[in-house]
Amino acid sequence: MPLAFESTTHGTFAFGFFNIRSDMLLLENRFFFATDFCAFLIELAARDEEAVEATLTAWTIDRPEDVGDLMGAIHGRRFTGFIGETYRCYPFPSAPEEFRQSPEGDATQAEFSEMIGRYARRGPIPFAASRSRAAMGGVEMSLEVFCELVRYVWRGGYPRWRAEVRPLYVVAMKRSLEESPSFLFAGIDWEV
């Protein structure tokens, strides 16, 4: 489930997994797979620069009604937009103990790509960072908040990875970030 994080430009913003059967993440109205996000972080981890600029490929949904109603879809009452379509295919689990992020979520990427393609345009979103801030897709945040996004993916968001089993791409991301010379990842506390 996406959580609210604090930006320096937009107040709170939503980031996170939104369907436990997919590894797709949302950043407000932008969507990308966790596999791509982790690969992007690994690429950033190899850079030792004072200021970083890069792009991450994502889908952007311009109209809020095309994003959909997450809470309505979770409760099985309102299946609008892209998120509603994902919950028609993969409903919210009825048993609370089944509410865990699937470490096999990347297996549904083709299906989720097809669904989002009906609502969004795909293209690069900018990323920039300095020693005091990071900005992704126009949302500016402190480096501490950016590190919270990274830790969110490591944990499997809320509700965490099923049985605490992380996908290999998440384990590889953590390893690369721990060995990184970049200021971006210097302060990550993986236990938080």
Mean local confidence (pLDDT), 11-23: 97
pLDDT at 1 over 90: no
CA dist., res. 47 & res. 101, Å (int): 30
How confident is the model over 25-61, as pLDDT tens digits?
A: 999 999 999 999 999 999 999 998 889 999 999 999 9
Query: Could you tell me the two tokens for 51?
Result: 């200021």
Confidence of residue 23 (pLDDT cuts 50, 70, 90): very high
Query: Could you tell me the two tokens for 59?
Result: 């889908």
Chain centroid to CA 180: 21
CA dist., res. 171 & res. 166, Å (int): 7
Number of H helices, E strands in the chain: 7, 8
